[in-house]
Amino acid sequence: MACKKDNTKQKEVCKKPTSYVDSQGQFYQLSYNTDSKLSELKTDINTYTITYQDNGNTINSSDRYYDQTFKLGPEGQILELIAVYKSSGEVTKINYQHIKTSNGYDATATTQTFRKNESVPFKTVKNLWKMSINNGNLTSLTLIDLDNNNRQLGRMTYSYNISKNLSDYPLNHHQDLIDRQPFISKNLITRSSMTDNVTNVQIDAVFNYEFDEHDRILNSTQVAEYKGGAQTTNSTIKGTFEYKCN
């Protein structure tokens, strides 16, 4: 585990959280490999195991629902995602063809879905992800449906605390993999906004964190506003991190 000696207090300082609980009652237990990378994430309803290959450019994730393999580019862009669903044996393959732009990437995502033991996809979908990248972070993303007259499906924007490297906060980093975002940002998110043109939903969220003298997150707060049609809903989720050395 990533611990170091604090010479002033003569005790071990663990830099990676070993557990997390939020105000909705969701509990997370985290374990790490010898390289201090997240290797297991247990929740109340699921357990994720994670392995890394080729210096972390290939990430394998497994839980009760499916096995996933991510192949990443040098900047954090996802090049390929393969998901195998355990209940049905169905396979989803997403291939991202990236074109470098002046402010990020245009990534054409071809999603093919295969039935168990079949080599010909029964469904193929093409979308375009227009991504703006700044200092290694995804700042905006526009999703376009290439199969339906280039219809804009939605847009997301993000802001970051650029002094807080995401690799130090594995729980937040893992959410990018769970959500299958096409880019893994380098810093800790502070604000997000999502517009879904299909369902006419708008979600705005602000993230705040409390750190200790060793730059570890002690507490986090997410305040979100959900707008759907004439309905507006507000929610606040608070979480607490715990650190223990073995």
Give the model confidence (pLDDT) of 181-221 as tens digits: 788 889 999 999 999 999 999 999 999 999 999 889 999 99
Q: Strand 201-211 to strand 47-53: parallel, antiparallel, or no bridges (unpaired)?
A: unpaired
The number of helix segments (H) and strand segments (E) in the chain equals 1, 18
Measured CA to CA, the distance from residue 123 to residue 106 in angstroms comes to: 23
Strand partners, 11: 6
Question: pTM of the entire structure?
Answer: 0.84
Quote the pLDDT of residue 35. Answer: 85
Quick one: which of 73, 112, 74, 115 has its CA closest to 93? 112
Q: Is 15 left (phi over 0), alpha (psi -120 to 50) or beta?
A: alpha
What integer pLDDT is reported at residue 159 of this predicted model? 97
Locate tokens 């708008």: which residue? 202
Q: Topology of 3-242 in CATH? A: Porin (2.40.160)
pLDDT of residue 116: 97
Residue 175 is inside which H or E element, if any?
helix 170-179
pLDDT of residue 168: 81
Q: What is the pLDDT at residue 74? A: 87
So what's the pLDDT on residue 179? 66
**Which stretches in the chain have pLDDT values below 50?**
1
